[in-house]
Structure 1
């Protein structure tokens, strides 16, 4: 079965060649662990190959995302990359004119309908929703969240795209059961130093590296050291 690169060579190695296309993947980790950066690698790899890439931000304003990701050298102004601001703030201030704003804080039915409209306008082979956690936070009702999440999944998979959802929860929820793969970002403290580790806890349809490997967030984005063990003393 063919694979697609996630845009981070070390992680592709851990995935034994990359992601299986047309499926949904979950990236989990705490704040500041690099979930957005990792997701942007995935989208920009598609852009580099001439694919259409769609990024939907549900927490950070799109203008902030563009500024922060631009610092890593990502070409966030590329015409093949579309950034949608779906932050549930109810305000349209500080949103750049080339970013389509949609207010979804009141009803996530609008979000799903909006995504359907976007997918009809243009073909996107890579989609990121960052973070899906915001749906759970705002709905604040487990039954309503499960229904909304299932609608999300059904809407996205019908487009035959490869999708990454990010999530900040440490709990095992409906997202992990429905995702085809789960990538987790960890933080450890060893001898007074903070160590970052990346692991794959689920990857349907493929073997994968089951060891937690070290990674860093550099000025070029996320770098994964697939040949190294996490606890290596002074180097990491």
Structure 2
């Protein structure tokens, strides 16, 4: 099969599409992970803004953050975000308070999926960012059943035919969770000390149906937001 023949959509992050054969495969679920402050939410907002600018209806579903604060943060890179929020091309959903109110404990995968399906169907959403999935709790303790529960969640998202980014905190870079194995791709953001200064990097850990490099590529925040430099030698091969 010709891998490049898959229908792809842009991530909206300058330089990132060049590392993954032009973009993400439409309708699949991807994980964006990394330590706090590494740029995960910004990457997610670039992805949504790209869709909104193309006339799509896209949605940001927050389980922790106030979506208004996320918009304020993104405004410094792209002031047009307020236009797309106002025109309802970029929809904001603060799901945390609703889901916590409905349950005696933190939200479960099943309850979150139910809400997301409602949002996607009612608004004909084509792109979705869920931030952060680490706020969702498994309702069962058996490891095998946990994996099955998460697999049903990912499959449920794919059945909606909405291209989805799951944002997840990852403080232990040597520990992989169930999400890494079940999604169609994993993008990891890094920052580390190099040459006496802090450097940001981006790594494609996994990308199904896609040829990609495995190195850590230089990334930085510019006045336009997050930028990746695929033409430079990887920081770490």
Instruction: Give the alignment's TM-score, normalised by structure 2.
Output: 0.83
Change (3 A) 1:79 1:26: same
Counterpart of 1:56?
Answer: 61
Where 1:72 maps in the other structure, the secondary structure is coil
Give yes or no for the alignment of 1:195 onto 2:199: yes
How far is the alpha carbon of 1:218 from its aligned partner?
2.1
1:180 to 171, 174, 184: 184
Deviations 1:107-156 (A, max 9, x none): 434433222221221211111111111114x8695757545533431321
Equivalent pairs, count: 218
Query: Greater shift after overlay, 143-152 or 107-116?
Result: 143-152
Where 1:183 maps in the other structure, the secondary structure is strand
How far is the alpha carbon of 1:157 from its aligned partner?
1.0
Structure 2 CA distance, aligned partners of 1:114 and 1:18? 27
Structure 1 CA distance, aligned partners of 2:49 and 2:146? 30
The 8 Å contact of residues 199 and 212 in structure 1, kept in 2 or not, is answered as: yes
Where 1:104 maps in the other structure, the secondary structure is helix
Change (3 A) 1:198 1:68: same
The 8 Å contact of residues 33 and 186 in structure 2, kept in 1 or not, is answered as: yes
Instruction: Give the alignment's TM-score, normalised by structure 1.
Output: 0.84
Counterpart of 1:93?
Answer: none
How far is the alpha carbon of 1:230 from its aligned partner?
4.7
Structure 2 residues without counterparts, runs of 5 or longer: 1-5
Map 1:213-224 to 2 at 5 A.
Answer: 213-224=217-228
Counterpart of 2:52?
Answer: 47
1:70 to 50, 68, 75: 75
Counterpart of 1:127?
Answer: 128
Counterpart of 1:94?
Answer: none
The 8 Å contact of residues 37 and 69 in structure 1, kept in 2 or not, is answered as: yes
Counterpart of 2:95?
Answer: 86
Give the structure with the higher percent helix. 2
Deviations 1:183-231 (A, max 9, x none): 1111121121011110101111111122211011123110111111354
Counterpart of 2:3?
Answer: none
The 8 Å contact of residues 214 and 226 in structure 1, kept in 2 or not, is answered as: yes
Structure 2 CA distance, aligned partners of 1:190 and 1:140? 42
Give yes or no for the alignment of 1:103 onto 2:99: yes
Structure 2 CA distance, aligned partners of 1:230 and 1:142? 40
1:28 to 3, 26, 33: 33
